[in-house]
Amino acid sequence: MSSHILSVQYYLAGQFDDAIAECQRTIALEEKFGVAYEVLGGSYAARHQYQEALPYVQKAVEFNPMNAISRAYLAYVHARLGKRTEALAAIGELDAASKQRYIPALAFAIIYTGLDDKDRAFEWLRKAYDERYNRLAYLRTEPIWDRLRGDPRFDELRRRIGLPM
């Protein structure tokens, strides 16, 4: 869906108003397109508007209940809202699910980033690197990692991936 692709590009470029508008266009075309809600919630979260992000990341999980990244975004928003119990519960749920199916390490890194646990966030980002998880290609631009920028481990990971500084 071209509107969704455009919304992701706006999100990655830090043009959150445009990303939100495109997500809303996408949702108008396909109301149950869960990933559009994830980007919409992520755009609000990138602006530190976590309360506004919450209903959208909840919808993302509702429409994609098996999507670990959507679940991680919801836990990230919970963590940023000070709801540590909900965020930690999500880690437990994803860990349990990993016994039955593949759960990307990136999901755990997202949650630990929201919890401001940088050591564990980097541990899981390294695991995502070992998995060759494709979304690491956006490490340099994805706003969710803003909390980790400035840490030497972030630049080290970028170098390992081969992303420009």
| The predicted structure's pLDDT at residue 41 | 98
Question: What's the mean pLDDT when you consider all of the chain?
Answer: 96
Residue 80 Rama label (left phi>0; alpha psi -120 to 50; beta): alpha
Domain ranges for the chain, please list them.
Answer: 2-161
pLDDT interval class at 150 (50, 70, 90): very high
Sequence length of the chain is 165
The yes/no answer on whether domain 2-161 falls in CATH 3.40.50.410 is: no
pLDDT tens sequence across 78-136 = 999 999 999 999 999 999 999 999 999 999 999 999 999 999 999 999 999 999 999 99
Region 27-51: mean pLDDT is: 96
| The predicted structure's pLDDT at residue 1 | 61
